[in-house]
A and B are shown apart, each in its own frame.
Chain A
Amino acid sequence: MIARGLAMRRIGWVAVLAICFALLFALSLRVNALKSEVRLAERKIVTLRHETIYLETEFETRGNQQQLAQWNAVEFGYVAPGAGQYLENERELAALGKAAGPDAPAPIRIAAASDIPASALPTMVSPLTGKPLGEEDEPVDAAPVDHATATARLGERLATVEHPKAAEAARPARAFPEKPAPDKPAPAKPAPDKPGGAKP
């Protein structure tokens, strides 16, 4: 019985060891799989970096200083900014303004006020009706709109399809010949009975 227990324990240890080894093996495989993924990514980075260098160099070559200077001389004619295009400070900016003449109108002064309660503002009045804003929205003499019914019938109105033929029939006759309705077959083309009209 004791011997059997020992044997079982030994087998147990061996099994644990085997499991550990199997796990270690699996882990190593995973690590190396990741490593090779990293290597692939690195290779991609290198390729992309080379491509970037190539494109950058091409851009710089096409846009090199001499090329740009020639284009500028022929096409654009840009020149370096002159002294008049620089302002060093607010004082110089202010110096650009002119002093008011003796007969100049009084300058418009704008003042800003803050912290005024909303009630202190005068009511806005419509310039047409002279009534305070909001009151003149609906004319008094207009028939009151039954909003509930209108909304209920909206789906019905939108679902109604007006057939072109029916519309045609409903329309009064006109003095001039009309174009055929789209669903009617187009009138046959005149037969090529004229000489020379026929085509092979």
Chain B
Amino acid sequence: MNAITYAPALTAGRIQLANVRARSLIVARIRLLVILVLFGFAAVVCLARIAMLGLFESPARAASLAEALLPSRGEIADRNGVPLARAFPAYALWFNPDALGPDAQGKTSPLVGTPAEVARRLALILPEADEAELRARLSVRRPGYLQRRLLPEQANRIHALGEPALEFPRENDRYYPQGSLAAHVLGYVAADGHGRVGMEQILDQRLLDPALRGKPVELAIDMRVQGALEDELGRGMLETEAIGAAGVVLDVDSGEVLALASLPSFNPNRVDRAINSLVFNKVTNQVYELGSTFKPLTVAAAIDAGTVTDLARRYSATPFGVGRFTIKDSHPLGASLNVPQSLMHSSNIVTAHIADELGPARMKATMAALGFNERPYIELPARGFPLWPAGEWPRITTMTVSYGHGVAVTPLHLASAYAALVNGGIWRPATLEKVPAGKAVKGRRVFKAATSARMRQMLRLIVSDGTGRKANAAGFRVGGKTGSAEKPGVGGYRKHSLVATFAAAFPMDKPRYVIIAMLDEPKGTAAASGQRTAGWNAAPVVGRVVPRIGPLLGIVPDDTRDVDLTDLAPLAPGFGE
């Protein structure tokens, strides 16, 4: 009964229940499906991403190995591959006052500590920095460099100060590991990223060219020779209290400049201190009347032209007048001198006589053939124009030029001329680029080979027995000529301001290198035995440089070898004593 009574209700409830169950089952299935679809979609997206990453390279691929290793500016090396200038990623110290958040009112300090405290601690890390200046810089909210270059360990120590406002941007900088060595040859790179002064300026395009800058440019310079030359010139300059010095070492057969020094110098790492007076290149830009160093050139021209045929012929050594001028020697040298004696004792009078016989046309032609009428041949941008008398030379000009007055040239001109004088007579332009063996410029013949051989003997005689004895480095067969020229001033020459030059070549039996040492206004100090002339100050510099550079350049000192001077011996009394 009960069952009958409840049956319809029970059935209805069961059907309802079944409906509810079915419905919730459907809902659950739909939800499950939705979740499945979502998961499936996510999985597909993930797989697609993996496939994309796996199959295709990321577009933002890092620069290739070669590109990453390419320096921002090419390296400059010496002839043996020693780097002289290189791109160097360095740290700078930058003050960013907004690192702790911008502050419009300027009330909050940009630093964690006080500016005074931070400046004090910075000054302990940076030995060159000025604490007061740092404090002033840190006190105002103005971003800027505190120092352009930091050592990594300094950067670490500054980082340890815990000041977020002190940042270390990594910058590509030009660095010169050898400091001021060869500064005039190299020059420097200014803030605009372009070279100035030296080869940095000349090679600017080459050094910045992405196709070429990976390979270092090798110069003709030899770092060791350059170092020795600068060292000894600096010493000579200090000893004689000269205001400046210049020197050059030149390969006589190729014209390569192995060393070129102009003192006082500058440090290309500190461009801010590279002031004009230091950057000025005395070897290629400053012209000087180089005095008696011209005499061998005059004698060679006369021998070449055939006006001097007999070296034993004696010329009058008594002062004589030409127009208003009187040509005289620094001290009386006797009544007459022959040609070797005139060079050994450096007689203006005899040289003037020889030049007079040679004549102005041939004198001028020889000087022009030696390149004295144009700027020196070298890659450097600063090249001085010689003081060159134009037109037909009067007799007096010919005579004064014969002993190095009236024509002003750079020391580099003289070096090239001496190279031609000793190498067999071929003049070649000087170059700072390394010349591969056998690829030297052909050059032009200025002197005959026989004349050159004769001049080698006489130059050797000057050093072994004449005014250049202090340059006689044992075993190196040095030959050369002194030159002490008074500097022109207001109303004539200044008696006590000299330019002392020594032009030399070695070894004289087969000359390989020409070396010029010049001191500007040396004083007669005790080190120079109270003398201002080149034989006492410039010659000793050469005498000290040659033994230092000779073995490096493959020239073995040998006491048993020398130029054969036996035929000149009778002409130069005192020889061989």
Query: Which residues of chain B are within 8 angstroms of A46 by Cβ–Cβ distance?
Result: 65, 68-69
**Given A28-B55, A32-B57, A65-B223, A81 and B177 touching (CB < 8 A)?**
no
The answer to whether A65 and B65 touch (CB under 8 A), given A82-B474, A83-B558, is no
Output the nearest chain A residue to B82 by Cβ-Cβ distance. A60
Interface string of A45-65 (1 = CB under 8 A from B): 110011001101100110011
A60 touches B51 (CB 8 A): no
Residue count of chain A within 8 Å CB distance of chain B: 31
For residue A6, CB closer than 8 A to chain B, the reply is no
A61 x B177 contact (CB < 8 A)? yes
Encode B546-563 as 1/0 by CB contact (under 8 A) with A: 011011000011110000
B550 closest partner in A (C-beta):
A80
Q: List residues 102-156 of chain B with CB under 8 A from any CB of chain A.
A: 152
Chain B residues with Cβ under 8 A from A56's Cβ? 83
Whether A131 sits at the interface, judged by CB under 8 Å, is no
B86 at the interface (CB under 8 A from A): yes
- Tell me if B551 and A69 are in contact (CB < 8 A): no
Does B179 sit at the interface, judged by CB under 8 A? yes
Shortest CB distance A20–B (Å): 15
List residues of chain A with CB within 8 A of the CB of B162.
none
Residues of chain B within 8 A (CB-CB) of A65 are 178, 181, 223-224, 226-227
Cα A54 to Cα B62 in complex, Å, equals 22
Q: Is A165 an interface residue (CB 8 A)?
A: no
- Tell whether, in the assembled complex, residue A64 and residue B177 are in contact, meaning their CB atoms are under 8 Å apart: yes
Chain B: CB-nearest residue to A43: B62
User: B69, A49: Cβ atoms under 8 Å?
Assistant: yes
Partner of B86 from the list A39, A42, A53 (CB cut-off 8 Å) is A53
For the complex formed, measure the closest distance between the CB of B67 and the CB atoms of chain A, giving whole angstroms.
10
With known contacts A60-B177, A60-B178, A82–B86 Cβ distance under 8 A: no
Given A28-B54, A29-B54, A32-B54: A57 and B69 interface contact (C-beta under 8 Å): no
B175 lies within 8 A of chain A by Cβ: yes
Taking the closest CB of chain B, its distance from the CB of A103, in whole angstroms, is 31
Q: Are B551 and A57 in contact (CB under 8 A)?
A: no
The answer on a CB contact under 8 Å between A64 and B178 is yes
A86 interface hit (Cβ, 8 Å): yes
Report the bound CA distance from A33 to B50 in whole Å.
Answer: 12
Q: How far is the CA of A131 from the CA of B51 in the complex (A)?
A: 93
- Secondary structure dominating the interface of B: mixed
Contact with A along B180-204 (1 / 0, CB 8 A): 1100000000000000000000000
Contact B55 A32 (CB under 8 A): yes
Check if A81 sits within 8 Å of B227, measured CB to CB.
no
| B556 surroundings in chain A (CB, below 8 A) | 86, 88
Within 8 A of B (CB), among A1-52: 25, 28-29, 32-33, 35, 39, 42-43, 45-46, 49-50
Least CB distance, B221 to chain A, in whole angstroms: 12
Q: Which residues of the other chain, A, contact B65 by a CB distance below 8 angstroms? A: 42, 45-46
- Residues A60 and B83 in contact in the complex (CB < 8 Å), given A80-B551, A82-B547: yes
CA distance A153 to B181 in the complex (A): 80
Q: Does B385 sit at the interface, judged by CB under 8 A?
A: no
A82 near B475 with CB under 8 A, answer: yes
The residues in B between 158 and 181 inclusive whose CB is less than 8 angstroms from any CB of A are: 175, 177-181
Provide the residues of chain B in CB contact with A43, threshold 8 Å: 62
B89 within 8 A of A: yes
**Interface-centre pick from A56, A81, A83 (highest chain B CB count, 10 A):** A83
**B175–A57 contact, CB under 8 A?**
yes
| A66, CB-defined interface residue at 8 Å | yes
Q: Which of B88, B178, B230 contacts A53 (CB 8 A)?
A: B88
Instruction: Kindly state whether residue B231 has any CB partner on chain A within 8 Å.
Output: yes
Decide: A80 near B548, CB < 8 A? Known: A45-B65, A86-B556: yes
Residue picked from B68, B82, B224, B559, most chain A C-beta under 10 Å? B68
Which chain A residue lies CB-closest to B67?
Answer: A46
How many angstroms between the C-alpha atoms of A134 and B90 in the bound complex?
A: 77
Chain B minimum-CB-distance residue to A40: B62
Interface residues of B in 533-577 (CB under 8 A from A): 547-548, 550-551, 556-559
Q: Complex Cα distance A60/B227, Å?
A: 14
Asked if residues A57 and B88 are in contact (CB atoms below 8 Å), the reply is yes
> A25-B51, A57-B86 are known contacts. Are A64 and B231 too (CB-CB below 8 A)?
no
Contacts of A35 in B (CB 8 A): 57
CB distance from A85 to the nearest CB of B (A): 8
A35 to B556, CA, bound (A): 56
Cβ-defined partner of A66 (8 Å) among B54, B57, B82, B181: B181
A39 CA / B58 CA spacing, docked (Å) = 12
* CB closest residue in chain A, given B552: A80
A42 cross-chain contacts in B, Cβ below 8 A:
62, 64-65, 68
A-B contacts, 30 of them at CB < 8 A, read A25-B54, A28-B55, A29-B55, A32-B53, A32-B55, A39-B61, A39-B62, A42-B62, A42-B65, A42-B68, A45-B65, A53-B86, A54-B89, A54-B152, A56-B83, A57-B88, A60-B177, A61-B179, A64-B178, A64-B181, A65-B178, A65-B181, A65-B223, A65-B227, A66-B178, A69-B231, A80-B551, A82-B474, A86-B556, A88-B556
Please name 15 further chain A to chain B contacts, defined as beta carbons within 8 Å, in addition to the given A42-B62, A53-B86, A81-B557, sorted by A numbering: A28-B55, A35-B57, A42-B64, A42-B68, A43-B62, A56-B83, A57-B83, A60-B83, A61-B179, A64-B179, A65-B226, A66-B231, A83-B475, A83-B557, A83-B558
- Residues of chain B touching chain A, judged by Cβ–Cβ distance below 8 Å, are 51, 53-55, 57, 61-62, 64-65, 68-69, 82-83, 86, 88-89, 152, 175, 177-181, 223-224, 226-227, 230-231, 474-475, 547-548, 550-551, 556-559
